[in-house]
A and B are shown apart, each in its own frame.
Chain A
Amino acid sequence: MKKPAAAPTKDAPLDAALVEALARIAAEHDLSEAEVEHDGLRVRVARERRAATVIHAAPMAAPVAASAVAPAAPAGEESGTVKSPMIGTAYLRPSPEAKPFVEIGMAVKAGERILLVEAMKTFNDIVAPHGGVVTKIFVEDGTPVEYGQPLMVIA
């Protein structure tokens, strides 16, 4: 289970401890979600299947209630969804000036490159796990992605 280091803010010790405790409870009881409200502070931890508990490092002084929520998969995930095999930055095109690898409505073959995920200057091709037509793209060029986050749908 990989967990990004929490960014300590002035209020962080309490928040981080709460999130940790919730994550532990959620993991132990195999819950997909755990939520607690205490002194006006609401913390929710969401887990995706058996994937790692995703806890975002609180960016600066962002409210914990928002930052502790994992990027949830769209409700009732569609079949044909391609997910990120790693944490990183997703790119839709090989270089800023180039054409995107795929666009909505485009037909792709299994094994064709559809996206790049950069993790610490390592560039990972994401290839289509099956053939079909790209019906949805969930990420923008240059956006951070988490492990298991839906990237696009090939129907």
Chain B
Amino acid sequence: MRVRRHEVLDSTSDEAFRLAQAGERGPIWVVATEQAGGRGRRGRAWASPPGNLYATLLLTDPGPRARLHELGFVAGVALADALAEVAPGADVGLKWPNDGMIGPAKAAGILVEATEFGGGGGGGATACAIGIGVNVASHPSGLAYPATCLAAHARAPRVEATFGALATALDARLAQWRGGEGFSAIRDAWLGRARGLGRPIRVETAKGALEGAFAGLDATGRLLVADGDGESAVESGDVFIAADFVRARISEDVGT
């Protein structure tokens, strides 16, 4: 396993794409002690002080382009494997599609990004960056959802041990996925770790919010939300499960 380590980066995924542009094909990990511009979904910031893990795995053409979203589940399941190893006995779970949870709080996040090199339209190579942030020593507060860190659940967790567990787990889960052929096993493993199955959830999408019961995943990984009229499949959005969803609604009601 090849690893490039840095003290400070803007973002490990940005660095991975710079490497890809310069001809690097991976697999290679980019790890930083801290990030100046850690990113989440849709340009949101990911707090990145020293003491936590910031790592990106760069892959080239890991599978068919239309199946690359499955990597979010592959990485999610590997992340849960790693959290369970580093914090034995902790209540580790996954919130759709790939937030790493301990108890009701978020301990880790994943952002998968893909881009094409050498000509668009499917002719070139696809570089894929799986960016993972794990709150090891600390976690931010004042977010729209509860957050936690490994230090609250394990004795003296180390960034290096967390990275080792994660890299090993992701390697094994990628082998199980086999470019998409093994996705049903990944999906099953994901459902085994799912947070909020059968419970009320709220999904906020770019086109509005949806409320209902979390009924599972369809064959491609979309979130199934059931209400009185039937089931809807959601492929993009922010998920709020019971407790945090009630909290969000209360803060809406009081107009904050």
Contacts and interface: CB of A to CB of B under 8 A. Distances in A.
B231 A96 contact: no
A88 B206 CA distance: 12
A119 interface: yes
Contacts of A4: 218, 220, 222, 233
A89 B235 CA distance: 8
A94 B186 CA distance: 29
A121 interface: yes
A128 B233 CA distance: 30
A112 to B, nearest CB: 9
Interface in A42-99: 57, 59-61, 82, 85-89, 91, 94-98
B65 interface: yes
Interface stretch (B85-93, B117-125, B141-149, B169-177): B117-125
A129 B69 contact: no
A5 interface: yes
Contact of A120 (B42, B231, B236): B236
Given A5-B233, A96-B42, A147-B66, A121 B120 contact: no
A110 B116 contact: no
A122 B72 contact: yes
Place the interface of chain B in its size category.
Answer: 35 or more
Given A88-B236, A119-B235, A129-B121, A113 B115 contact: yes
A88 B235 contact: yes
A7 to B, nearest CB: 5
Interface residues of A, number: 44
B119 A87 contact: no
A138 interface: no
B43 A96 contact: yes
B24 interface: no
A5 B235 contact: no
24 contacts: A2-B66, A4-B222, A7-B230, A9-B229, A87-B66, A89-B206, A95-B44, A111-B124, A119-B235, A120-B73, A120-B97, A120-B235, A120-B236, A121-B236, A122-B71, A122-B72, A122-B113, A123-B113, A124-B113, A124-B115, A125-B116, A129-B121, A144-B207, A144-B235
Interface of A: 2, 4-5, 7-9, 12, 57, 59-61, 82, 85-89, 91, 94-98, 110-111, 113, 118-130, 141-144, 147
Question: Ordered nearest first, which 7 A-B pairs have the shortest CB separation?
Answer: A95-B43, A142-B206, A129-B121, A119-B69, A129-B120, A125-B115, A127-B120
